[in-house]
């Protein structure tokens, strides 16, 4: 797969241009496939923010826009590569990786570097051609690209050190699916076959899934589960399967540079969210408010978060608020940290004092009867500014906390 000189020149000349404007106003040019070059310009623009290391290679060829938006980011791919390297650090050499759902090859390109041999399997021939070209551009000479159905390849393949899959989350009609059994391939049905071929299996799943049900679905085979978020948006769940039965599962919550790890027994899921609540009478004395990051929110790891900071007086405001308060500044808190300036209710007199001098604010509601938009309208505040108002319920009372960000 190659670009002509005319196509390369066009891409270089219009690398920062608006692709939609180019599509509307560019006339057909000799020796230049316009849809292809527009995909390349759009792809490189996306790669600069999503795959900056790939974007440094001018020879990379990108797929159509939708595939670029759906592919893994450099951050999440690097996270999976680190996990794979840790899981196989004691494995006998030569080590081997098999990716049964190759796709655009981002995850594979990062994971493959830590293995002696790596095989990319993909049923779409066009993606195989793209991967073969790009992997060569990235300097990965030890990889093998196979055009095949992943399940068929799995049945016939020799043993591997680690198998990776990213099941397609669309049905035969192209509609989005989330349940594991509705994805292609159905990894629940393939569990025993996968573990028969490799002692370690990593599976990327939808961030919409309930992680406790996911662990249960794999019936004792799940040893680890990683919830990955970036810029406080949950991106994916990765489940690790290993041979044998696992009564304890290690959960890792990642949000950019923030990490929280804990181990939970599979019979202890029901109590995993419990955390000590602040005494409502002590609320006025609290000086700091903390909002856990998206990965911890997804995990519901509120008790574990409290344990992580056992040397502080960190407590949850309410059972369903998912907000924490403390009299201490915890600058390493995995999430957002705020200084509490005032606390009040929706009582008119208290509101007047709470909002004195405030014309605009960022509003967050947790376990509160109004939406953020409804509350903003009620308080007559514009959006933005340095003030952050959190609305929640404490012991049956609707409470507002006016805060500003804690300086790091």
Q: What is the CATH number of the domain that holds 341?
A: 3.30.2130
Half-sphere exposure of 189 (CA within 13 A, CB side): 10
Q: What CATH code is carried by the domain that includes residue 203? A: 3.40.50.150
Please say if the pLDDT value at position 185 is more than 70.
yes
Question: Given 70, 104, 125, which residue is the final one in a domain?
Answer: 70
In a domain, 180, yes or no: yes
Name residue, tokens 């080590």. 95
Q: Is residue 197 reached through a cis peptide bond, with omega within 30 degrees of 0 on the bond before it?
A: no
Contact partners, residue 76, CB within 8 Å, separation at least 6: 107, 228, 230, 235, 236
What average pLDDT does this structure show over 15-37? 88
**CA 77 – CA 82 distance, rounded (Å):** 9
367 and 223 together in one domain? no
- Position 269 confidence tier, pLDDT thresholds 50, 70, 90: low
Q: Is the pTM of this model over 0.85?
A: yes
In a domain, 89, yes or no: yes
pLDDT value at residue 270: 55
Question: Per the structure, how many domains does the chain have?
Answer: 3
212 and 318 together in one domain? no
What average pLDDT does this structure show over 314-323? 92
Secondary-structure percent of the chain, ordered helix, strand, coil, rounded to 5: 35, 30, 35
Least confident of 258-267, 346-355, 366-375: 258-267
235 and 91 together in one domain? yes
In a domain, 287, yes or no: yes
pLDDT value at residue 268: 67
260 and 293 together in one domain? no
Q: What are the phi and psi torsion angles at 318 (to 5°)?
A: -150, 160
Closest of 35, 41, 34, 44 to residue 6, by C-alpha? 34
In a domain, 275, yes or no: no
195 and 79 together in one domain? yes
Please say if the pLDDT value at position 43 is more than 90.
yes
Q: What CATH code is carried by the domain that includes residue 9? A: 1.10.10
125 and 249 together in one domain? yes
- Position 273 confidence tier, pLDDT thresholds 50, 70, 90: low
Question: Given 234, 268, 302, which residue is the final one in a domain?
Answer: 268
In a domain, 382, yes or no: yes
pLDDT value at residue 148: 98
Question: Given 70, 104, 121, which residue is the final one in a domain?
Answer: 70
334 and 379 together in one domain? yes
If you average pLDDT over every residue of the chain, what do you get? 93
255 and 388 together in one domain? no
185 beta partners: none
Please say if the pLDDT value at position 176 is more than 60.
yes
Least confident of 104-118, 158-172, 289-303: 158-172
**CA 160 – CA 182 distance, rounded (Å):** 26
List C-alpha distances in Å: 167 to 99, 164, 230, 297: 11, 10, 21, 24
Structure tokens at 72: 């893994």
CB 96 within 8 A of CB 160: yes
pLDDT value at residue 159: 98
pLDDT value at residue 65: 83
- Position 64 confidence tier, pLDDT thresholds 50, 70, 90: confident
Residue 376, classed as helix, strand or coil, is: helix
- Position 27 confidence tier, pLDDT thresholds 50, 70, 90: confident
Please say if the pLDDT value at position 235 is more than 90.
yes
CA torsion angle 34 35 37 39 (round to 10): 160
Instruction: Output the CA angle 273-278-283, nearest 5 degrees.
Output: 140
Sheet holding 162-165, edge to edge: 143-147, 117-122, 96-99, 162-165, 200-205, 233-242, 222-230, 248-255, 258-265
**CA 396 – CA 66 distance, rounded (Å):** 46
In a domain, 273, yes or no: no
**CA 150 – CA 157 distance, rounded (Å):** 10
Identify the H or E element spanning 266: none
Segment 145-159, tens digit of pLDDT: 999 999 999 999 999
301 and 263 together in one domain? no
pLDDT value at residue 2: 80
In a domain, 274, yes or no: no
Least confident of 139-143, 171-175, 305-309: 171-175
116 and 251 together in one domain? yes
Segment 104-162, tens digit of pLDDT: 999 999 999 999 999 999 999 999 999 999 999 999 999 999 999 999 999 999 999 99
pLDDT above 90 coverage of the chain, percent: 82
Sequence-distant contacts of 167-174: CB under 8 A, at least 24 apart: 167/101, 167/203, 167/204, 167/205, 168/101, 169/206
**CA 33 – CA 355 distance, rounded (Å):** 59
In a domain, 48, yes or no: yes
Structure tokens at 318: 């309410």
pLDDT value at residue 1: 66
| Domain membership of residue 348 as a residue range | 280-405
369 and 237 together in one domain? no
211 and 319 together in one domain? no
Identify the H or E element spanning 3: none
């Amino acid at each position: 797969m190659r670009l002509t000189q005319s196509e390369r020149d066009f891409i270089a000349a219009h690398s920062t241009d608006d692709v939609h404007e180019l599509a509307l106003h560019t006339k057909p040019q000799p020796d230049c496939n316009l849809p292809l070059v527009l995909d390349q310009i759009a792809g490189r623009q996306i790669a600069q923010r999503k795959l900056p290391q790939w974007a440094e290679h001018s020879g990379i060829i990108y797929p159509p826009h939708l595939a670029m938006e759906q592919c893994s980011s450099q951050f999440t791919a690097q996270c999976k590569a680190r996990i794979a390297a840790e899981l196989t650090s004691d494995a006998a050499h030569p080590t081997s990786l098999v990716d049964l759902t190759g796709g655009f090859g981002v995850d594979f390109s990062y994971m493959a570097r830590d293995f002696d041999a790596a095989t990319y399997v993909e049923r779409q021939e066009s993606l195989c051609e793209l991967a073969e070209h790009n992997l060569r551009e990235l300097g990965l000479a030890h990889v093998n690209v196979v055009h095949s159905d992943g399940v068929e390849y799995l049945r016939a393949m020799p043993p591997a050190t680690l198998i990776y899959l990213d099941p397609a989350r669309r049905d035969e009609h192209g509609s989005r699916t989330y349940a594991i059994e509705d994805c292609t391939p159905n990894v629940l049905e393939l569990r025993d076959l996968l573990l028969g071929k490799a002692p370690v299996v990593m599976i990327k799943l939808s961030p919409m899934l309930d992680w406790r049900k996911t662990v249960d679905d794999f019936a004792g085979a799940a040893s680890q589960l990683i919830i990955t978020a970036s810029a406080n948006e949950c991106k994916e769940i990765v489940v690790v399967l290993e041979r044998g039965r696992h009564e304890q599962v290690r959960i890792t919550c990642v949000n950019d540079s923030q990490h929280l790890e804990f181990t939970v027994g599979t019979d202890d899921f029901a109590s995993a969210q419990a955390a000590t609540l602040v005494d409502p009478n002590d609320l006025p004395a609290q000086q700091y408010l903390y909002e856990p990051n998206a990965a911890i929110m997804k995990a519901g790891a509120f008790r574990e978060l409290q344990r992580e900071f056992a040397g502080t007086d960190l407590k949850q405001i309410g059972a369903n608020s998912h907000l924490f308060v403390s009299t201490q500044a915890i600058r390493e808190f995995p999430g957002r940290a705020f200084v509490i300036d005032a606390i009040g209710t929706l009582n008119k007199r208290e509101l007047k004092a709470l909002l004195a001098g405030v014309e605009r604010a960022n509003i967050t509601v947790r376990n509160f009867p109004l939406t953020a938009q409804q509350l903003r309208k009620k308080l007559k505040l514009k959006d933005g500014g340095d003030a952050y108002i959190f609305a929640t319920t404490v012991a049956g009372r609707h409470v507002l906390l006016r805060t500003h960000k804690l300086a790091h």
